[in-house]
Chain A
Amino acid sequence: MREVNAKQIKEKVKELFLDANFHIGEDVLNSIKEALLKETSETGKNVLNMILKNYKVAANEVLAICQDTGLAILFIKLGQEVHINGNWEEAINEGVKEAYVEGYLRKSAVTDPVFDRKNTKTNCPAIIYTEIVPGDKIEFLVTPKGFGSENMSRLAMMKPADGPEGIINFIVETVKIAGPNPCPPTIIGVCVGGTMDQASITAKKATLRKVGEHNPDPRYADMERQTLEKINNLGIGPAGLGGNTTSLWVNIDYKPTHIAGMPVAVNICCHAARHASGII
């Protein structure tokens, strides 16, 4: 049994949300640099250059990469040998609250979504997904998710007969309908299978997979390749102003599902795919 204090959890959560909001991942950076070499639209190249410059400015001057510093989402693997001294949920929310104050990050969370929509002023509550795993560590993967891209995401309860072609068409159509709204070039996370909820959560996690790495299953990797090609043939381009780079990468994950179903969740992430991970 290993003791972990609520304070350690709070500090780690704070550190990770600050990191995620100021520093973009190497994989995303390299992917945009590669896209710049292949982009044929002048406006497109302009936009990609501005994006690269912005990442530098954000990191150097400690300014948020994007003003939409999103809702705070955490995927946590909690070792079953860990005993937590203090309140788990409170510690995580305190960490988010402090990060969003100290980092001059925007508080974008509102209470009751339909009637009052009052700003919670803390960017809480955080959205927490916890998995209990063997061992005595706590592994955090955090992402501030902006809503320009989140609003363009879609879910379809497809039928088994729809097959790979149906899935690819649904993903491409989702990107087509979104157009410029999710700040292309985007990173697309998809989950096929599970239930409506599991597919959605897994799709969100899929947006955080390393850009440039395919699903180890060659059949799914092939679907990823085909989908990315079809998306980039749409011509939407950086910022939706025309070009070859509409998406940087497509990650397709899968989960076991019911014999009668094939849920497909498509979570769109903008080019500022902000995430950070750490271990206690």
Chain B
Amino acid sequence: MMKEVKLSTALKEEDIRDLRIGDVVYINGIICTSRDMGHLKMIDVTEKKEKLPIDFQGGVIFHAGPVVKKQGEKYEVIVIGPTTSIRMEPYSDFIGGLGVKAIIGKGGMEEGTSEALKKYGMVYLQAPPGCAVVLGEKVEQIENVFWLELGVPEALWVLKVENFGPLVVGMDSEGNSIYRDIRIKGKKLIEKMF
């Protein structure tokens, strides 16, 4: 039975392990954006045994690069939407090791990520793609930004969000994956057709 769940950060493992594919989630609290270069930077910093700018325990990583506007000293989000998550597939185990409990993105991820979700008690949440205005409205404010030298889209944006969603559980910590199910079904159809 699919359920609707509201979660607040820092996310607890038992809450995440309770989620199943198809559930709808809304998040209150802090989420951080990170894409291709951001993930590589996190790995680089960790390998050099330096400190990451924030503590990711119970945290949320959102595969996105916002459009922002600078007002004086502060930044404001104009719109924000998910980017294609599969590009970040190589980094899932690393992210789990940092204590991240939820990954938000679009398009799903693959078996490496599914294993990491099981291992660390994480969940993959699909954000509505192409709905950057609506999602942008759920961002209350930008708490902080790091690594702007990577460019605005690739920097680490720390966002305070309220009722951020609707986010659909695409892959859960039991190893289920809507994306895998569709791929298998699709493959069978293709084999039948040809």
Contact = CB atoms under 8 A, between A and B. Distances in A.
Nearest to B88: A161
Interface in A242-280: 259-260
Contact of A159 (B37, B65, B87): B87
A259 B37 contact: yes
Contacts of B91: 161
25 contacts: A159-B36, A159-B86, A159-B87, A160-B36, A160-B37, A160-B87, A161-B36, A161-B40, A161-B87, A161-B88, A161-B89, A161-B90, A161-B91, A259-B35, A259-B36, A259-B37, A259-B65, A259-B151, A259-B153, A259-B154, A260-B35, A260-B36, A260-B83, A260-B84, A260-B87
Contacts of B153: 259
Contacts of B37: 160, 259
Contacts of A161: 36, 40, 87-91
Interface of A: 159-161, 259-260
B116 to A, nearest CB: 16
Contacts of B90: 161
Contacts of B40: 161
Interface in B87-106: 87-91
B105 to A, nearest CB: 12
Contacts, number: 25
A260 B38 CA distance: 12
Nearest to B154: A259
Secondary structure dominating the interface of B: helix
Looking at chain B, what size class is its interface with the partner chain? 10 to 19
A161 B37 CA distance: 9
Interface string B71-88: 000000000000110111
Interface in B147-166: 151, 153-154
A165 to B, nearest CB: 12
A125 to B, nearest CB: 36
B39 to A, nearest CB: 8
Contacts of A159: 36, 86-87
A42 B87 CA distance: 46
B89 to A, nearest CB: 8
Contacts of A259: 35-37, 65, 151, 153-154
B82 to A, nearest CB: 11
Nearest to B153: A259
Contacts of A260: 35-36, 83-84, 87
Of A159, A259, A260, most buried by chain B (CB within 10 Å of CB) is A259
A216 B142 CA distance: 42
Given A161-B40, A161-B90, A259-B35, 5 more contacts: A159-B36, A160-B87, A161-B91, A260-B84, A260-B87
Nearest to A161: B90
Nearest to A261: B87
Considering the complex of A and B, which 5 residue pairs feature the smallest CB-CB distances, nearest first? A159-B87, A160-B36, A161-B90, A259-B153, A161-B87
Contacts of B87: 159-161, 260
Of B40, B86, B87, B154, most buried by chain A (CB within 10 Å of CB) is B87
B51 to A, nearest CB: 24
A250 to B, nearest CB: 26
A160 B90 CA distance: 11
Contacts of B65: 259
Contacts of B88: 161
Of B36, B40, B90, B91, most buried by chain A (CB within 10 Å of CB) is B36
Nearest to B35: A259
B33 to A, nearest CB: 13
A157 to B, nearest CB: 11
A260 B90 CA distance: 15
